[in-house]
Amino acid sequence: MTYAEQRWTAPKVQQRVLTVLLVLTFAAISVVAARPGWVVSKISLVKDGEIAYDFDRDGRQDLIEQWEQGTLLAAREDTNADGRFDAFVVYRDGQPVKLEYDLDHDGEIDYRSVVDDGRERVEVLVNGKFVDIRKQ
């Protein structure tokens, strides 16, 4: 084997080793990312600070989380696979402070829970207006 052949053999071997390591790394990430009972078919960065999940493999985003510097700020989820988000959560200091749900899937929020100064306010939509159900 000539000197030139020896010189080019090492990089090819290194490329193959790196390729195998890369494939194994992605396989390990796929196993770790999958939660029991869920199949994570696609995880993609859609915007700066947002992570989108497609759990049911229909090509549409089922859950989108918004992150900033490692802190979860908000999340929205399509709970009935109709392609529209119907559950929304806002976080402060890692804790949910606002939850909103479209319970009848008509595109309008029907239920919300808001935490202000440690007190929770729970409201439902009645005749087009939100009513605090704890005051009833």
Count of domains forming the chain: 2
Q: With contact defined as beta carbons under 8 Å apart, do 94 and 73 qualify?
A: no
Q: What is the pLDDT of residue 84?
A: 93
4 with 51, same domain: the answer is no
Q: With contact defined as beta carbons under 8 Å apart, do 90 and 96 qualify?
A: yes
100 with 53, same domain: the answer is yes
Distances (CA, A) of 132 to 7, 91, 120, 123, 135: 76, 21, 10, 4, 6
71 with 9, same domain: the answer is no
Which pTM value belongs to this model?
0.62
Q: What is the mean pLDDT of residues 103-107?
A: 90
20 with 49, same domain: the answer is no
51 with 2, same domain: the answer is no
9 with 63, same domain: the answer is no
Q: What is the pLDDT of residue 18?
A: 62
Tokens (6 digits) for 13: 């071997």
Q: Quick one: residue 28, left, alpha or beta (phi over 0 = left, psi -120 to 50 = alpha)?
A: alpha
79 with 113, same domain: the answer is yes
- E-assigned strand segments in 1-136: 42-47, 50-54, 63-68, 71-77, 87-92, 95-101, 111-116, 119-126, 129-132
pLDDT, one tens digit per residue, over 85-94 is 999 999 998 8
pLDDT, one tens digit per residue, over 8-58 is 445 555 666 666 555 555 555 555 455 554 555 555 554 457 888 888 888
58 with 9, same domain: the answer is no
pLDDT, one tens digit per residue, over 71-81 is 889 999 999 98
Select from 82, 75, 83 the least CA-distant residue to 52.
Answer: 75
50 with 80, same domain: the answer is yes
15 with 54, same domain: the answer is no
What residue numbers bound the domain in which 24 lies?
1-33
Residue 132 has pLDDT above 50, yes or no: yes
3 with 55, same domain: the answer is no
User: Which comes out higher in pLDDT, residue 103 or 40?
Assistant: 103
CB atoms near residue 4 (< 10 Å): 8
16 with 68, same domain: the answer is no
